[in-house]
């Protein structure tokens, strides 16, 4: 059967040793080996952005990244955004401002948005649109997503950074 | 889930190790850079590999170095995202930045590399499909079959050269360095890319592209215009890389124009160049140059839009690059108000 | 008219959706996220030929592969199914024929998805090829092979013709008669989530199917039919849908096959479709060719309209009969059209089946009608916005084709977009290359009739209240992003004066929740909302009695608000909601209520009258601004003004989200999305494949294609809606496509009478105009189709009674209610 590898992955700050087939992508390792099903997939070919996660702070597509290439790097998924029960400002703004309808593009959007805000906490509308242009959404028409990202940016700025926000009701 | 076939993953920590791995089994081994072209192709089973040699750990292949006055070197594994953030490049070859910015989407740009971009497989809507789809029409010439579905009477494959950086790099006369266990060689980007949908690279399978070498910018100015359906994600259906040197008197001293996505390699618009050469770059001259550029294109029905329309667009885009470089006002709405360029 | 219910503290506020936190944290489990112990993985082998008889299937090599645990073929499930009772033409796995590339012929379950995939490749299917029916021409050709052994006429699945009123007299009164041939290309839903399901066997021959479906109830029915076991042994749980747009409203092969496999193996079977397979499931927009002829008076009023439609249905029935009716059903609910004829037909072709996509059958004729009105305005020298305003159907009207309109807020909608865009100052004055276009539309708030004939409610809600103070709400509705969970919870919380966090939802589970017909035809807010209000009002009543007694105040004086129940005249006198429930539970025993909703009966009594009636119609007006580059034909949309009459916005943020999402999908359809097919030269091959079944080449707009959207919500409460609410999920997309076409005309003076409008079409039209031609791009002719004799139905204006005059002559018995077998909606 498949040739297996064993590697250590750091996902959301947690180090995990995983045995997995050598030909699997990061998407498969996250969803299937680590049960981190928060990362979604919509095409498996790099065409939709749904599987966006952060690797060393940069957004990448988990469906195209060989898992073996990611060993030892710091991987962040949607599951790592909140601090315990406290939502990240991006999550809170998405929730309150209509930026998640069916919610399927949401994890990828949040990760792309997080990478953007890390570089530019006060992006203009155009900057948000350009930075998130590889993430498709079929539900929202994007406008409420743009608004939510910008609102989260100004919240992060007034907080000085960090990810503290109001308690989630989840 | 669409998955990769079983294969071995190798991650050498030195370039020598990588070259040896390739030399061991050149036909069954492929170089993996960002994987944004190779992984979809392997998933859809139109490229094959028993082993992948990842260059991910080779820090020496990453980054921009050198002296702008004598030419910059961009490591093959430099990601598109880091190219976009590089201030030296921005200052000396803003045209390259324009080309790289137009590639795919932001999230793909943080994976894709410049080396991978130059070694992109050629594309065709009869070919970039799943195994099931291809079996439903029968494999074409680029694979097991012997007919080209786009041009059934043709004896060659017309798959499209889809790199956005390539036309620009050709236009500015960039070179690449290739390495293998047999040694190193340098050649022009123009010579790396062959107008053949199947044998589209002059690189041998065991060779690694290590560096992209940019000439000193001097008085050259260059830019890249791209036509595609959407403002992001989409490959070009036409790309124009233009490099220009204008003398103090306003006369064109040198010009190189390469069209992307209208053949299996970037094609040089020589007829257009000769119209410009030695002339003042005014509206009339650049319009006739744009028209002349049409001749080298063999747009076929194997990508988005109709082939006739794509051909019709060539004069507009060639003229557009020239106006931009000559600081002439835009004509029409192209490039303004969110219209693609 | 009935009194419209007044909102409490919650309804009308921008409360956070109840599913939001799950979605932003990645906790929401979609179908493909579910993992059950001992699961095996299933893949389907799909046909790679477009039209053929199956000669033999050899699965021996697949069975022998290590890791394979089960293989099924068509023989294992011979019973046909289909969403409509009259179109039971699909098999879970093809029996003896395949009808399109992608039709499933065998299924393999294995220990891993990869082994299942490999095993599928080992199955040998021998086909005997039949002629490929690629489009209208082939389908109409009487010499071609038949795709199905049933239907109205050879490869015509459906043909119909109905005439309302004296059409000839209508046209005779016209000052201007316009005729146009218009084409609307097919396109698909492209939900971001690919369909997936897991079937879990439960003891004693039962099975539970967890699936990304918008219609668990109809899936339940299809499973019952094909599996041949009692309905009560089958449980369907619809997982939260990662988008649907109508693409998950049919029962699908993979769902039925997974259930069969799970029962056969006694272990959970999961299947997740690939993106390409989602394109094969399709059920998207029907490519529709239309011939529209309208008679106008000088003042712009319409005296007659004759519409012919021809739908390319793909390989199976799906909702197609209803879709065909829908291409004519809603033409008269927007403007006054006193006489109207509609001829519709649907053909079969060897392509993935078309079905209901957002707007189901109505965007196509709406496109034809709205560009037609624009042309008429030009010819009559009228302002297109003003002309529309003058022709509006009044609230409460009954249309020529017997649809009863409730509230009608299109006038304010038109005024809002006219003002917002500064239409009067700017239209026609923006210079060559920039223009404004207007269009309007209306849509159903739920179909008046269910898909299969019955007298039961369309939606049911059940409440369980107990001493915790929490309220559990049970309903069969399915969340697919539109916000139905939030509407359900908010309606109950609003009536009972409690918080959303006091509500626990249990939805979309055929074992546990009362039936709701599903998330289609924009029916959920209105129907489920009404059922929820009824259940909540009953709960309020139940609690009020004992509490009033305890407090010593009349029950009628009690107010439910702020998580309390108190005397309106002495607010201090009261109990917390939880205490109130304890009082009631002590007195009455275990507490629970139900509510249900059945739409009012529609006035039409002729065959076909079942399609079109709705408890309420929503209205939208849209103005699009375009920039067109005349050199290249490229189109950019900087701004869209949209106003939508939603009756009552239960939540303004969610309402706006639906509107903007509709604009998005509309712009995609107007400018780039298309389900195109590849045919190789016939002498080389009979192949017929989807041109680009992937997300790179099927063009879905990105962030960068989206304009600024200026949304106005108009609230003209409808007496039939909960709090007056009407639909918002589909209506706002309908005017976008014609508004774009009309704006392009305003910008560069040429007409593209088809969508998607491509740059090369604009260039061709411009070139034609330059040569002195009409400056139009679009279909030249409409094929000769014999629609059969028309059913004649006198209009209400003519004093009709809703019945057809010649039902006997045209061979159909009149009266919707008596036609239990054949009536479709
Ligand atoms: C949805 C989508 C949209 C895209 N849009 C565009 C676009 O608009 N424009 C565009 O130009 N590209 C586009 N791409 C292609 C691709 O993302 C970029 O071209 C990228 O730069 C490729 O680099 P990579 O490192 O990911 O290449 P890989 O996939 O890793 O490699 C590509 C090929 O080059 C070979 N290779 C890579 N590096 C080397 C090396 N150093 N030496 C020898 N061989 C090597 C590989 O073996 C492989 O055959 C798109 C891709 C996707 C999935
Ligand atoms: S151009 Fe012809 S041979 Fe080449 S990939 Fe396309 S169909 Fe195949
Ligand atoms: S799943 Fe679509 S980009 Fe990865
Ligand atoms: S919210 Fe459904 S795809 Fe974005």
- C150 domain-assigned: no
**CB-CB under 8 Å, C759 with B309:** yes
Containing domain of residue C587, as a range?
A: 456-597
CB C26 within 8 A of CB A79: yes
User: Strands C617-628, C434-444: parallel, antiparallel or unpaired by DSSP?
Assistant: antiparallel
Rounded to an integer, the average pLDDT of C281-285 is 98
Query: Looking at the structure, do residues C477 and C431 belong to the same domain, yes or no?
Result: no
Which partners does chain B have (≥3 C-beta pairs < 8 Å)? Answer: A, C
Q: How far is the CA of B143 from the centre of ligand 2 (A)?
A: 9
- Every domain of chain B and the residues it spans: 60-119+160-213, 223-325
Residues in contact with C324: Cβ distance below 8 Å, sequence separation at least 6, in sequence order = C157, C158, C160, C309, C311, C344, C345, C346, C361
Residues of A contacting chain B (CB within 8 angstroms) = 2-3, 5, 21-25, 27-28, 41, 44-47, 49, 52, 58-61, 63-66, 68-69, 112, 130-135
Query: Looking at the structure, do residues C655 and C591 belong to the same domain, yes or no?
Result: no
- Name the minimum distance, in Å, from the CA of B110 to any CA of chain A: 6
The closest CB to that of A140, out of C17, C244, C657, belongs to C657
What is the atom index within ligand 4 of the atom nearest the CA of A139? 2
User: Where is the domain boundary, C777, C794, C815?
Assistant: C777
Rounded to an integer, the average pLDDT of C574-583 is 98
Q: In chain C, how many domains are there? A: 3
- C18 domain-assigned: no
Query: Looking at the structure, do residues C208 and C167 belong to the same domain, yes or no?
Result: no
Does ligand 2 come within 6 angstroms of the Cβ of B200? no
The bound ligand whose nearest atom lies closest to the alpha carbon of B26 is 1
CB B102 within 8 A of CB B236: yes
pLDDT by residue for chain B (341 residues), tens digit each?
A: 999 999 999 999 999 999 999 999 999 999 999 999 999 999 999 999 999 999 999 999 999 999 999 999 999 999 999 999 999 999 999 999 999 999 999 999 999 999 999 999 999 999 999 999 999 999 999 998 999 999 999 999 999 999 999 999 999 999 999 999 999 999 999 999 999 999 999 999 999 999 999 999 999 999 999 999 999 999 999 999 999 999 989 999 999 999 999 999 999 999 999 999 999 999 999 999 999 999 998 888 999 999 999 999 999 999 999 999 999 998 876 665 445 44
| CATH numeric code, A4-80 | 3.10.20.30
- C351 domain-assigned: yes
* Residue numbers in B near A63 (CB within 8 A): 39
**CB-CB under 8 Å, C33 with A133:** no
Does ligand 2 come within 6 angstroms of the Cβ of B102? no
- Res A109 pLDDT > 70: yes
Q: What is the DSSP letter of A21?
A: E
**Measured distance CA(C368)–CA(C782) in Å, rounded:** 14
- C13 domain-assigned: no
What is the atom index within ligand 1 of the atom nearest the CA of B164? 11
Does residue C483 belong to the interface with chain A, where contact is any CB pair within 8 Å?
Answer: yes
For a substitution probing ligand 1, which of B104, B206, B303 has the most ligand atoms within 8 Å of its CB?
B104
Does ligand 1 come within 6 angstroms of the Cβ of B19? no
CB C791 within 8 A of CB C816: no
Q: Which residues line ligand 4 (CB under 6 A)?
A: A 100-106, 137-140; C 192, 243, 481
For a substitution probing ligand 3, which of A63, A133, A138 has the most ligand atoms within 8 Å of its CB?
A63
Q: How far is the CA of B127 from the centre of ligand 2 (A)?
A: 6
Does residue C586 belong to the interface with chain B, where contact is any CB pair within 8 Å?
Answer: no
- Name the minimum distance, in Å, from the CA of C475 to any CA of chain A: 19
Predicted local confidence at residue B335, as pLDDT: 60
For helices C736-748 and C652-671, give the axis angle rounded to 10 degrees: 60
Rounded to an integer, the average pLDDT of C276-295 is 98
User: Strands B51-54, B29-32: parallel, antiparallel or unpaired by DSSP?
Assistant: parallel
**Measured distance CA(C263)–CA(C229) in Å, rounded:** 11
The closest CB to that of C760, out of B128, B147, B308, belongs to B308
For chain A, counts of helices (H) and of strands (E): 6, 5
Query: Looking at the structure, do residues C755 and C621 belong to the same domain, yes or no?
Result: yes
What is the atom index within ligand 1 of the atom nearest the CA of B108? 17
Does ligand 3 come within 6 angstroms of the Cβ of A119? no
User: Where is the domain boundary, C272, C294, C315?
Assistant: C272
Sheet (strand C635-645) strand order: C434-444, C617-628, C635-645, C708-714
Paired residues of B30 in beta bridges: B52
* Residue numbers in A near B32 (CB within 8 A): 66, 69
Predicted local confidence at residue A160, as pLDDT: 62
Strands of C577-652, DSSP E? 591-597, 617-628, 635-645
- Name the minimum distance, in Å, from the CA of C405 to any CA of chain A: 29
Predicted local confidence at residue C752, as pLDDT: 98
* Residue numbers in A near B2 (CB within 8 A): 44-45
The closest CB to that of B40, out of A45, A65, A132, belongs to A45
What is the CATH number for C460? Answer: 3.30.365.10
CATH class of B60-119+160-213: alpha beta
Query: Looking at the structure, do residues C684 and C711 belong to the same domain, yes or no?
Result: yes
ipTM value for the complex: 0.96
**CB-CB under 8 Å, A38 with C27:** yes
CB C509 within 8 A of CB C216: yes
Q: Three-state secondary structure along C408-425?
A: CCHHHHHHHHHHHCCHHH
**CB-CB under 8 Å, C240 with A101:** no
Closest chain C residue to the Cα of A103, Cα to Cα:
C23
Does ligand 1 come within 6 angstroms of the Cβ of B206? no
**C587-625 tens-digit pLDDT:** 999 999 999 999 999 999 999 999 999 999 999 999 999
Does residue A95 belong to the interface with chain C, where contact is any CB pair within 8 Å?
Answer: yes
- Res C211 pLDDT > 60: yes
The closest CB to that of A45, out of B2, B7, B111, belongs to B2
What percent of chain C stands above pLDDT 70?
A: 98
- C2 domain-assigned: no
Query: Looking at the structure, do residues C445 and C461 belong to the same domain, yes or no?
Result: no
Closest chain B residue to the Cα of C194, Cα to Cα:
B1
Does ligand 2 come within 6 angstroms of the Cβ of B160? no
**Mean of pLDDT over chain C:** 96
Q: Does domain B223-325 correspond to CATH entry 3.30.160.110? A: no
User: For tokens 């994987």, what's the residue?
Assistant: B35
The closest CB to that of C241, out of A82, A102, A141, belongs to A102
Query: Looking at the structure, do residues C586 and C690 belong to the same domain, yes or no?
Result: no
**Measured distance CA(B27)–CA(B47) in Å, rounded:** 11
Query: Looking at the structure, do residues C225 and C110 belong to the same domain, yes or no?
Result: yes
Paired residues of B52 in beta bridges: B9, B30
* Residue numbers in C near A40 (CB within 8 A): 30, 192-193, 242
Residues in contact with C465: Cβ distance below 8 Å, sequence separation at least 6, in sequence order = C471, C472, C539, C543, C581, C584, C585, C591, C592
**CB-CB under 8 Å, C703 with A107:** no
Does ligand 1 come within 6 angstroms of the Cβ of B209? yes
Query: Looking at the structure, do residues C180 and C200 belong to the same domain, yes or no?
Result: no
The closest CB to that of C194, out of A42, A92, A136, belongs to A42
Query: Looking at the structure, do residues C624 and C585 belong to the same domain, yes or no?
Result: no
**C671-722 tens-digit pLDDT:** 999 999 999 877 778 899 999 999 999 999 999 999 999 999 999 999 999 9
**A48-81 tens-digit pLDDT:** 999 999 999 999 999 999 999 999 999 999 999 9
Name the residue at shortest CA distance from atom 3 of ligand 3: A46
What percent of chain C stands above pLDDT 90?
A: 96
Q: What is the DSSP letter of C723?
A: G
Helix, strand or coil for residue B64? strand
Chain A residues 108-167 within an 8 A CB cutoff of chain C: 110, 128-130, 132-146
- C823 domain-assigned: no
| CATH numeric code, A89-161 | 1.10.150.120
- Res C117 pLDDT > 80: yes
The closest CB to that of C24, out of A40, A94, A135, belongs to A94
**C17-29 tens-digit pLDDT:** 999 999 999 999 9
If phi > 0 it is left, if psi is from -120 to 50 it is alpha, else beta; for residue C562 that is left
- Every domain of chain A and the residues it spans: 4-80, 89-161
**C776-825 tens-digit pLDDT:** 999 999 999 999 999 999 999 999 999 999 988 886 543 333 333 333 33
Does ligand 3 come within 6 angstroms of the Cβ of A51? yes
Disruptive mutation site among C48, C112, C124, C688 for chain B (greatest number of B CBs within 10 Å): C48
CA nearest to C728, candidates C409, C427, C469, C391 = C409
* Residue numbers in A near B35 (CB within 8 A): 64-66, 69
């Amino acid at each position: 059967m498949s040739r297996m590898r064993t590697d250590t992955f750091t996902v959301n700050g947690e180090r995990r040793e995983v045995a997995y087939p050598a030909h699997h992508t990061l998407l498969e390792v996250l969803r299937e080996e680590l049960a981190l099903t928060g990362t979604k997939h919509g095409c498996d070919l790099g065409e939709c952005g749904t599987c966006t996660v952060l690797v060393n702070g940069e957004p990448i597509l988990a469906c195209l990244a060989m898992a073996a290439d990611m060993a030892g790097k710091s991987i962040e998924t949607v599951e790592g955004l909140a601090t315990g029960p406290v939502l990240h400002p991006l999550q809170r703004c998405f929730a309150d401002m209509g930026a998640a309808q069916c919610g399927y593009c949401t994890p990828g959007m949040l990760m792309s948005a997080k990478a953007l805000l890390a570089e530019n906490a006060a992006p203009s509308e155009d900057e948000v649109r350009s930075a998130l242009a590889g993430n498709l959404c079929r539900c929202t028409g994007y406008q409420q997503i743009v608004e939510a990202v910008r609102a989260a940016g100004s919240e992060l700025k007034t907080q000085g950074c960090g990810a503290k926000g109001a308690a989630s009701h989840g | 889930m669409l998955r990769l076939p079983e294969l071995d993953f190798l991650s050498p920590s030195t370039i020598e190790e990588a070259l040896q791995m390739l030399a061991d089994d050149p036909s069954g081994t492929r170089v993996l850079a960002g994987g944004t072209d190779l992984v979809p192709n392997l998933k859809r089973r139109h490229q094959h590999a028993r082993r992948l040699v990842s260059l991910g750990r080779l820090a020496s292949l990453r980054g921009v170095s050198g002296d702008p006055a004598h030419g910059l070197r961009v490591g093959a594994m430099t990601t598109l995202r880091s190219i976009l953030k590089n201030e030296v490049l921005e200052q000396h070859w803003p045209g390259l930045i324009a080309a790289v910015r137009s590639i795919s989407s932001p999230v793909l740009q943080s994976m894709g590399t410049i080396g991978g971009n130059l070694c992109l497989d050629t594309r065709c809507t009869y070919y970039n499909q799943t195994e099931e789809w291809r079996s439903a029409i029968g494999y074409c010439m680029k694979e097991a079959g012997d007919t080209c579905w786009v041009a059934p009477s043709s004896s060659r494959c017309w798959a499209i050269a889809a790199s956005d950086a390539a036309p620009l790099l050709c236009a500015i006369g960039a070179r690449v360095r290739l390495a293998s266990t047999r040694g190193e060689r340098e050649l022009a980007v123009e010579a790396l890319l062959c107008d053949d949908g199947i044998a589209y690279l002059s690189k041998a399978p065991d060779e690694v592209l290590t560096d992209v070498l940019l000439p000193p910018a001097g008085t050259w100015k260059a830019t890249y215009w791209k036509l595609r359906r959407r403002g992001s994600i989409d490959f070009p259906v036409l790309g124009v890389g233009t490099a220009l040197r204008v003398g103090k008197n306003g006369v064109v001293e040198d010009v190189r124009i390469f069209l992307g996505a209208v053949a299996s390699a970037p094609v040089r618009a020589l007829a257009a160049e000769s119209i410009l050469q030695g002339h003042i770059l005014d509206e009339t001259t650049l319009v006739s140059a744009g028209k002349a550029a049409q001749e080298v294109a063999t747009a076929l029905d194997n990508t988005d839009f109709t082939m006739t329309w794509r051909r019709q667009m060539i004069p507009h885009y060639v003229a557009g690059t020239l106006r931009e470089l000559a600081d002439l006002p835009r004509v029409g709405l192209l490039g303004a108000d969110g219209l693609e360029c | 008219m009935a009194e419209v219910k007044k909102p409490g503290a919650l309804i009308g506020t921008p409360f956070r959706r109840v599913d939001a936190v799950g979605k932003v944290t990645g906790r929401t489990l979609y179908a493909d996220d579910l993992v059950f112990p001992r699961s095996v993985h299933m893949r389907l082998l799909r046909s790679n030929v477009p039209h053929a008889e199956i000669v033999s299937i050899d699965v021996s090599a697949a069975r022998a592969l290590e890791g394979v645990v089960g293989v099924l073929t068509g023989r294992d499930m011979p019973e046909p199914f289909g969403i409509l009772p009259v179109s039971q033409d699909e098999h879970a796995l093809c029996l003896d024929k395949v009808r399109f590339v992608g039709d499933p012929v065998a299924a393999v379950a294995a220990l891993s998805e990869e082994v299942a995939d490999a095993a599928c490749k080992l199955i040998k299917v021998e086909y005997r090829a039949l002629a490929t029916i690629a489009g209208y021409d082939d389908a109409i050709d009487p010499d071609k092979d038949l795709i199905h052994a049933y239907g109205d006429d050879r490869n015509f699945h459906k043909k119909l013709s109905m005439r309302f009123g004296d059409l000839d007299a209508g046209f005779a009164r016209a000052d201007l008669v316009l005729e146009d041939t218009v084409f609307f290309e097919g396109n698909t839903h492209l939900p971001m989530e690919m369909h997936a399901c897991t079937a879990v066997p439960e003891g004693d021959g039962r099975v539970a199917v967890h699936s990304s479906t918008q219609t668990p109830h109809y899936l339940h029915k299809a499973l019952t039919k094909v599996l041949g076991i009692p309905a009560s042994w089958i449980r369907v749980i619809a997982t939260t849908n990662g988008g649907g747009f109508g693409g998950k409203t049919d029962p699908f092969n993979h769902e039925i096959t997974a259930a069969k496999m799970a029962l056969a193996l006694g272990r959970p079977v999961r299947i997740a479709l690939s993106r390409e397979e989602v394109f094969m499931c399709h059920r998207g927009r029907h490519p529709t060719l239309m011939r529209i002829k309208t008679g106008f008076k000088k003042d712009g009023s319409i005296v007659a309209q004759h519409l012919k439609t021809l739908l390319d249905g793909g390989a199976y029935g799906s909702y197609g009969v209803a879709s065909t009716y829908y291409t004519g059903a809603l033409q008269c609910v927007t403007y006054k059209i006193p006489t109207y004829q509609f001829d519709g037909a649907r053909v079969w072709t060897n392509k993935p089946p078309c079905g209901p996509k957002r707007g189901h059958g109505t965007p196509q004729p709406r496109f034809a009608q709205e560009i037609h009105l624009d042309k008429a305005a030009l010819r009559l020298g009228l302002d297109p916005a003003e002309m529309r305003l003058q022709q509006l159907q009044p609230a409460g009207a009954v249309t020529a084709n017997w649809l009863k309109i409730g509230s009608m807020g299109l006038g304010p909608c038109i005024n809002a977009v006219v003002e917002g865009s500064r239409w009067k100052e700017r239209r026609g004055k923006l210079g060559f290359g920039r223009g404004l276009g207007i269009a309007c539309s209306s849509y159903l708030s739920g179909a008046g009739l269910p898909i299969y004939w019955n007298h039961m409610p369309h939606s049911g809600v059940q409440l369980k209240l107990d001493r915790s103070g929490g309220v559990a709400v049970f309903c069969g509705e399915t969340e697919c992003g539109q916000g139905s969970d939030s509407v359900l919870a908010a309606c109950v919380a609003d009536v009972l004066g409690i918080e959303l966090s006091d509500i626990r939802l249990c939805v979309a589970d055929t074992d546990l929740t009362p039936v709701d017909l599903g998330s289609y035809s924009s029916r959920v807010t209105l129907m489920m909302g009404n059922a929820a209000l009824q259940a909540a009002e009953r709960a309020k009543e139940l609690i009020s009695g004992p509490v009033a007694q305890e407090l010593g105040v009349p029950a009628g004086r009690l107010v439910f608000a702020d998580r309390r129940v108190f005397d309106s005249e002495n607010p201090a006198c009261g109990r917390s909601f939880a205490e109130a429930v304890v009082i009631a539970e002590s007195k009455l025993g275990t507490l629970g209520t139900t509510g249900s909703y059945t739409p009012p009966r529609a006035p039409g009594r002729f065959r076909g009258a079942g399609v079109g009636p709705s408890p309420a119609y929503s209205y939208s007006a849209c103005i699009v601004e375009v920039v067109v580059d005349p050199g290249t034909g490229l189109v950019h949309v900087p701004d869209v003004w949209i106003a939508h009459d939603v009756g009552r916005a239960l939540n303004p943020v969610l309402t706006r989200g639906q509107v903007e999402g509709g604009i998005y999908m509309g712009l995609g359809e107007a400018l780039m999305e298309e389900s195109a097919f590849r045919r190789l030269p016939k002498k080389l091959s009979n192949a017929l494949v989807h041109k680009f079944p992937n997300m790179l080449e099927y063009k879905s707009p990105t962030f960068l294609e989206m304009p600024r959207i200026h949304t106005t919500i108009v609230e003209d409460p409808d007496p039939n809606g909960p709090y007056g609410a009407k639909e918002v999920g589909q209506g706002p997309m309908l005017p976008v496509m014609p508004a774009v076409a009309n704006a392009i005309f305003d910008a560069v003076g040429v007409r593209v009478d088809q969508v998607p409008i491509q740059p090369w079409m604009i260039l061709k039209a411009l070139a034609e105009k330059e040569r002195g031609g009409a400056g139009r791009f679009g279909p030249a002719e409409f094929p000769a189709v014999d629609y059969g004799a028309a059913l004649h139905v006198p209009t209400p204006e003519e004093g009709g009674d809703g019945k057809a005059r010649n039902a006997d002559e045209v061979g159909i018995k009149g009266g919707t209610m008596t036609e239990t077998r054949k009536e479709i909606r």
